[in-house]
Structure 1
Amino acid sequence: MPPLGDLYERVANGPAVPAGLPLVILLTGFTDAGSAVSGLIDYARDELDSAPIAIFSNDALLDYRARRPIVSFEEDHLTDYQPQRLELSLSRDALGQPFLLLAGYEPDFAWDAFSAAILRFADVLEVSTVTWVHAISMPVPHTRPIGTTVSGTREDLTAAHSVWRPHTQVPATAGHLLEYRFAAAGARISGFVLLIPHYLADTEYPAATIAAMDRIMTATGLVFTADDLREENREYIAKVDEQVEGNEELSRMVRGLEERYDAYMAGMSGGVVTPPLLEDADLPSADELAAELERYLASRPSPDDDKRGGGVPPSPLTE
């Protein structure tokens, strides 16, 4: 494994970075249900004014065989090679407010060295807050707002926005390690876990990206526009609803999810002890729902497994 100095390259003549900016972390990979994070990365790269500060080394951090680069072939020759990207950039939101953005793939290797490097950047640049988002598949209905679990050191955000506070163990991501290290260092960090309907987790679900965007705005005061995403989501949901309404079994299963969700949320607002948010009994599986939705959902494939929310583990709520 290369030494720490080879994990990244500082960009020559990179932008001057003001002290005290918020840092936003968007890493795709193991927990990206609904393509929430990858969709937000695409938005940031397409719509925001960003200038890289440091570019991380794929040779040091990426398993190419697990996440292969894309090449373009035209008749008898290759025309393009598109490697994965992981960059720390100075970006600006819709109002021109500057912030730091760490965006790209979740490193496959050298997590300790990677997290140490990010903490050093944050220290040198005197970041004000750190916010990261990821998404997991959960047996919840698409007809209700996307909920979150909030972790970190910002108790105000946890109190206001965390709808599920489990005692559990889950496979860690590089984002978890970064949060753990930042919290140990006394940083103001918040992590938002989006709870995405399990039957939509393997699709590019626009509402998931919108929810990720909303949580970052809440934590940082940044402003993003999502008019195109919201229109795309309206069309997406209309087609899903059409499939559900046309099948009585599907409708019955979704109603069951709605009842559990509503009972849980009512218990939270009433301050009473409630049963788990989701229970195994009569719970529709992702396969049962996805089979009925396949005709539509299959029309929304992603060329990259890393952008499909693939590999998401079973919900700890049902364990």
Structure 2
Amino acid sequence: MSDPAGVPGPGAPGEARFVHIVDDVPELREGDAPVLIHALDGFLDAGNAGAIAVRHLLAGDAGRVVASFDIDAFYDYRARRPPLTFAEDHYEGYEAPRLVVRLLRDLLGTPYLLLHGPEPDTYWEAFAAAVRAVVEHFGVRLTVALGSVPMAVPHTRPVMLTNHASTTDLLVQPNVWKGQIRVPASAQAVLELRLGEWGHPAMGFVAHIPHYVAQVDYPAAAGRLLESVEIVTGLEWDLEPLEVAGQARLAEIAEQIEGSAEVRDVVLGLEQQYDSFHHPDQDATLPLAEERNLPTGEELGAEFERFLAGLDSPEE
């Protein structure tokens, strides 16, 4: 008999070949009921917010791998070619992609699970079923997704989040968005949908990244995501390094904007729009609808290219 997703449930032969779960994990005592946090590289990672959050959680202690997924089944090597080194006359240093679940501990010593790696390119339903096996094997009490998308918001205001969940009682705040909107699917979104159908609590947060810096690291969003995870899970981390990195990035952005009147004008409009969302009683109209001498799309595109060129790339 199939699950609502149309795929076999845990224990089915087809599922076992997609994930290997470590049986002997003495660090998890019976009844621990850990949280599973997941952040995948790919579609939902504007500003590399999820990737930065993962690096922060793994800093100092990468923990123990307690489950690994069959990367060959999920990864499109030609679309995202892994790097290797050509050294004079031979190849070496191949960095094979990995999709794993690690067992980590927070500042208080509380164990939790972290699923990270590239977003699956194929077999999303099989991936969801494989994660379900991990959830049920370790008695996970809550699954939390981290993501980020580019939005028309200014860097000069606090990072906004959209929260979502398989049941409304898991939501922690009202969203700015009202009504419905059709969006491209992601493996993380499908995972949350399926886990909810299978009776496992699942939720997540999506950070809004200023669209003009969505291609560079934005540590402030990573810190905001982990702060929200702390609230809903009770886990605790030292987030000061992310705060410091976020302030440094904002200083760099401010310095670059000083040299561009066009970008400053757009940021001002975004600030007014942001404030109108948070104080709708003050003005029912969006300031961006006012008549202004804004630059054309082509002019802004060229200006933003120069703006981004002045910021450090993620690799740097």
1:135 CA drift (Å): 0.6
- Give the structure 2 partner of residue 6 of structure 1: 17
SS at match of 1:70: coil
SS at match of 1:149: strand
- Give the structure 2 partner of residue 197 of structure 1: 210
Question: Are 1:224 and 2:222 counterparts?
Answer: no
TM-score of the aligned structures, taking structure 1 as reference length:
0.83
1:74 CA drift (Å): 3.8
Distance 1:119 1:13, change over 3 A: closer
The question of whether the paired residues in 2 share the 8 Å contact of 1:55 and 1:87 is answered with yes
Rounded Cα–Cα distance in structure 2 between residues aligned with 1:301 and 1:151: 28
- Give the structure 2 partner of residue 294 of structure 1: 308
1:53 CA drift (Å): 0.9
Q: 2:253 aligns with which of 226, 236, 240?
A: 240
- Give the structure 2 partner of residue 309 of structure 1: none
Between stretches 273-282 and 145-154, larger displacement belongs to 273-282
The question of whether the paired residues in 2 share the 8 Å contact of 1:21 and 1:126 is answered with yes
Aligned length: 298
Distance 1:273 1:180, change over 3 A: farther
SS at match of 2:225: helix
1:144 CA drift (Å): 0.6
The question of whether the paired residues in 2 share the 8 Å contact of 1:139 and 1:278 is answered with no
- Give the structure 2 partner of residue 308 of structure 1: none
Question: Are 1:179 and 2:192 counterparts?
Answer: yes
Trace 1:297-308 onto structure 2 (pairs within 5 A).
Answer: 297=311, 299-302=312-315
RMSD after superposition? 2.8
- Give the structure 2 partner of residue 95 of structure 1: 108
**1:111 is aligned with what amino acid?**
W
Rounded Cα–Cα distance in structure 2 between residues aligned with 1:117 and 1:27: 15
Distance 1:49 1:80, change over 3 A: closer
Trace 1:15-26 onto structure 2 (pairs within 5 A).
Answer: 15-18=26-29, 19=31, 20-26=33-39
Rounded Cα–Cα distance in structure 2 between residues aligned with 1:276 and 1:48: 47
**2:278 is aligned with what amino acid?**
M
SS at match of 1:223: coil
The question of whether the paired residues in 1 share the 8 Å contact of 2:260 and 2:303 is answered with no
The question of whether the paired residues in 1 share the 8 Å contact of 2:213 and 2:308 is answered with no
Unaligned ranges ≥5, structure 2: 1-12
Distance 1:190 1:13, change over 3 A: closer
The question of whether the paired residues in 1 share the 8 Å contact of 2:167 and 2:196 is answered with no
Larger relative contact order, structure 1 or 2 (CA cutoff 8 Å, min sep 6):
1
Distance 1:219 1:288, change over 3 A: farther
The question of whether the paired residues in 2 share the 8 Å contact of 1:86 and 1:105 is answered with yes
Distance 1:168 1:147, change over 3 A: same
TM-score of the aligned structures, taking structure 2 as reference length:
0.84
Rounded Cα–Cα distance in structure 1 between residues aligned with 2:163 and 2:205: 5
- Give the structure 2 partner of residue 119 of structure 1: 132
1:104 CA drift (Å): 1.2
- Give the structure 1 partner of residue 10 of structure 2: none
SS at match of 1:231: helix
1:279 CA drift (Å): 7.1
Q: 2:152 aligns with which of 125, 136, 139?
A: 139
Between stretches 252-261 and 91-100, larger displacement belongs to 91-100
The question of whether the paired residues in 1 share the 8 Å contact of 2:262 and 2:303 is answered with no
**2:18 is aligned with what amino acid?**
L
The question of whether the paired residues in 1 share the 8 Å contact of 2:100 and 2:115 is answered with yes
Rounded Cα–Cα distance in structure 2 between residues aligned with 1:11 and 1:113: 19
1:98 CA drift (Å): 0.5
